[in-house]
Structure 1
Amino acid sequence: MNDLTIEVNGLRLFARHGVGEQERKVGNLFEVTVHLRYPADGAIADDRLEDTLNYAEAVAVVREVMTVPSQLLEHVAGRLRMALTRRFPLIAGGMIRVAKLVPPFAADIDSVAVVLRW
């Protein structure tokens, strides 16, 4: 059995995650990267969308989850994992990275992020 990794890299979204009330009120720019291991035999053999994970649907799941505020990026990553594995039960494992691009403190950095692997 073959499995492959389907990648959604650098999806940028506006959301209202953060510990501070002001962060949840004003919002911030986030970047989500999702790598999902999925069985590939059907798609490799038959070239049919129904035999693989539709990445457009995966993006829709991510967008929906990101609309619900969380205090912690860890919680966001966990909710993303739950929603994606519920929608695509054949996911065999993966990685989710959630980055806040403008953290609420003074520092010259690109982002702060959490990575969830399973």
Structure 2
Amino acid sequence: MKTTTTIFLRNVIFYAYHGVAPQETTVGNTFIIDLTVKGNFLQSMETDDVADTVSYADIYGVLKQEMAVPSKLLEHVCGRITKRLLHDFPLIEEVRLRLSKRNPPMGADIDSAGVEVFLARE
């Protein structure tokens, strides 16, 4: 039997220092992550053992570590996170990550702006 399971984290909030403008790297901003990972976690459905899946607490740990590393571009942050998740967790087959910056400094009445990245194993 083949199955695909989606593990997700929604509206994960971080305060970080990503951006091109000097004020963004000094003052910082609020960022929101929506993340889904897909894989075949069929064995965990049978064993009820966290060792047979990917713990969303471990996924959160990766997000927290990578969000703490300042970058100019959100694409760069997303690339680091998605590549690391695929590297660190062999059971993950696909990663979809949306990273939004609240109130970006662009002179617009806007809630957020961001980037969405999809990465899959070959």
Shift of 1:102: 1.7
In 2, are the aligned partners of 1:65 and 1:83 still within 8 Å (CA)?
no
Shift of 1:59: 0.3
* Structure 2 equivalent of residue 21 of structure 1: 22
Q: Deviations over 1:63-94 (max 9, x none)?
A: 00000011011111001111211221221112
Amino acid at match of 2:73: L
Q: 1:108 & 1:44 partners in 2: Cα distance?
A: 46
Amino acid at match of 2:112: S
Q: 1:15 & 1:86 partners in 2: Cα distance?
A: 24
How many residues get paired?
A: 118
Amino acid at match of 1:48: D
Alignment of 1:3-42 (within 5 A): 3-42=4-43
Unaligned segments of structure 1, at least 5 residues: none
* Structure 2 equivalent of residue 81 of structure 1: 82
RMSD: 1.0
In 1, are the aligned partners of 2:19 and 2:72 still within 8 Å (CA)?
yes
Shift of 1:105: 2.1
Seq. identity, % = 37
Unaligned segments of structure 2, at least 5 residues: none
Shift of 1:38: 1.7
Post-superposition, which runs of at least 4 consecutive aligned residues in structure 1 deviate over 3 A?
A: none
In 1, are the aligned partners of 2:41 and 2:91 still within 8 Å (CA)?
no
Q: 2:57 & 2:8 partners in 1: Cα distance?
A: 11
Q: 2:78 & 2:90 partners in 1: Cα distance?
A: 17
TM-score normalised over the length of structure 1 = 0.95
